[in-house]
Amino acid sequence: MSGAGRIMGPGRAAGLAQRALAGWNGRMRASAADGTRRGTRWGRTALVVLPAAAAIASVGQAMAQGALAASFNVNGSPFTLTSNGVQGSGFGAILNTPSVEGSSGTVTTTTGMARVGFAQAGLAGLCGIVHQSIAGLPYSLLLTAGQAVTATPPSTVTTDINASDLYIEANTLNGATTTLQNAVLGLAADQVLVDGKQLTGYQPGGFGLGSDGGTGGSSVTLAGLNASAYDAEIAGSLTLPGLQIRVQAGTATSC
């Protein structure tokens, strides 16, 4: 594969990104040094972006090599999480209105979302897509791990990513085929437990989905997970085989 579709390992991609940013930063600083005001000082911006790229590379390498607690959050904008399937135990879900910070810094609590938690979860591949505009141009950050995620989920789900204490805050979460076991639909939100803990943002007496078996004995199998999420948190650990993080020009719709 060539051009924009080429997939590189995280180490090589990070190295190329750092060299490109360093060259760009040098050119912008030289341009700014002539004293002519040209609007936004991109040289200063590059000084911030360069260490950020290095930080992303180091975190990505640590996540690819083993287990690392992690959290993904995009300021006031949903991002897409897809997988060929999820098999989870200790499953629970509630409805809430979390704090959402917009790009202007204004925080609102009027967006209804589902907070879904898994004490233990196995995922069949992972594709995360974040869309962002930089200097008026669209870019996509793509995070992939495990098996390739397909548009049509396979008939048999084989998980290759392991996570503990996984939480997703989403306004839509779909599964092509869903199987629930030992679950109570309509359980009071304050009675829903994931790994022995209540879900953040619950409202006493509000709607909940979980198990009445103490610490949460319900399980779920989702084939073809597709979520529009505002937050994904791994409070325990996450093992991502073959992790790749890359930036692609334009608005990507798949990994």
- The DSSP string of 34-99 is T----SS-HHHHHHHHHHHHHHHHHHHHHHHHSB--EEEE-TT--EEEEEEEEEEEEEEEEEE---
The whole-number pLDDT of residue 41 equals 39
Q: What's this model's pTM, rounded to 2 decimal places?
A: 0.69
Mean pLDDT by 10 residues, the chain (255 residues): 42 50 49 45 40 47 50 72 94 88 74 92 94 89 94 89 92 88 89 90 90 70 92 84 91 92
Question: Rounded to an integer, what distance in angstroms lies between the CA atom of residue 234 and that of residue 61?
Answer: 17
Question: Rounded to an integer, what distance in angstroms lies between the CA atom of residue 239 and that of residue 247?
Answer: 22
Which pairing describes strands 207-210 and 79-96: parallel, antiparallel, or unpaired?
antiparallel
Report the amino acid identity of residue 126. Answer: L
Q: Are 79 and 229 in contact (CB under 8 A)?
A: yes
The whole-number pLDDT of residue 49 equals 43
The whole-number pLDDT of residue 168 equals 93
